[in-house]
Structure 1
Amino acid sequence: MTKLSVNINKIATLRNARGANNPNVVQVAKDCERFGAQGITVHPRPDERHIRHQDVFDLAEVVTTEFNIEGYPDKRFLDLVKKVKPAQATLVPDPPDALTSNTGWDTITHQHLLRDVVAELQSEGIRVSIFINPEVKYFEPAKQTGTDRVELYTEPYAANYHQKREQAVKPYVEVSNLAKEIGLGLNAGHDLDLHNLQFLKKSIPFLDEVSIGHALICDALYYGLENTIQMYRRKLDTE
């Protein structure tokens, strides 16, 4: 079974636009779980433009599925994660001012950094995933860091899906088979939506988890949050 983790950053962005507490991020997370989400993902950034650090602590008190915290592994992020102890920490190579994640780690160049961070987080009982591009050369080095999982950066797949979906998914199938062969768990995320998700799941049936935020929240404006989460779940549950 591939789990659906709902990224609630956009809920926090909407809240922050007015400066009060509507929508209530904690309540939305609880509702997402009640509606069928199997995990909650957040990506706190240093400027707190969406998820705030206090949100992370507040969410840790109520999330009953899997709490996944994404971020660049600087001292501030690592201190936060070690205090909260989520089920999973996903390491991304974003600089602090990045608008969104737009590439995976070069696990060759950053081998020592990643190895040290992975060991530090695992010593706290936290599962670790590394955000990674669908390129074979990065997977053996990723394994050497000791990470539990990798998360496939799926924006290139999503961008090319409507032109040639078989060609778009091909590199992902190749690296996913390699990941499975060398014992890496497999997540995926970025620009996945109701159009392209099912084909990715059928092509890589052993995906452990997908993390979806922007598209899911956009769909919820039309379909409602509960219905939207169930729609995404059906895309993952269809064999």
Structure 2
Amino acid sequence: MTDPAPVDPAKDAAARAAVALVENGMKLGLGTGSTAKIFVDRLAERVHAEGLDLRLASTSKATADQARALGLVVEELDDLGWMDLTIDGADEVDPDLNLIKGGGAAHLREKIVATASDRMVVVADQGKVVDCLGAFKLPVEVIPFGWASTRTHIERVLTELNMPGRPVVRREKDGQPVITDEQNYILDLDLGEIHDAPALARALNAIAGVVEHGLFLNICQLAIIGRPDGSVVELQREEMQ
């Protein structure tokens, strides 16, 4: 039997700080990704230690499976109605707490759960904090039917927004397209920098075949950023110190 992999201290610090925000009786959204996975582990520890009564919804099948394996009860979002709090990870966080998400191909469900919550809190390490979104490839979930035509529309939009020639690549694993929980494809946009995220979001939303993109704008209220020494910095939307 192999020893478990060591937990990243920065991600663990962020996860532990987020768990402290959870109150008994909450309806709570569980995020997806490496830091969110640690959060679910730490949440389960607290639930079992304190007997917290929580109602939980998940942003992915992977997170739901993890939570249930830890003895947590996960329900359907539609059965819970409105959520008190969602805690999730991010691939990038900018000074206004706008995000890029979708590295785990779960941004559609993540956005649905986050926007069905009173509050969204992001947990991440310092490497996810950026001055300008875009270094991380922007995921766009598209339906498989006509996906190549949808890619062409996206390329035209990028040209109109002064980002011509940027690669738009279907995400694959082992030579096969990555399939999301909703049975769709992911197109990754290699943009470098996104100088007008709202304009890009509006343009992508208007394309037939696009299901959802990974720009989370004005959704996150608080980011808990873990540091390697085990400390955290809490970033509000108006301040990014």
Give me the TM-score of the superposition, normalised by structure 2. 0.31
Between 1 and 2, higher relative CO (CA 8 Å, sep ≥ 6) is seen in: 2
Larger helix proportion of the pair: 1
Q: Highest CA radius of gyration, 1 or 2?
A: 2
The normalised TM-score by structure 1 is: 0.31
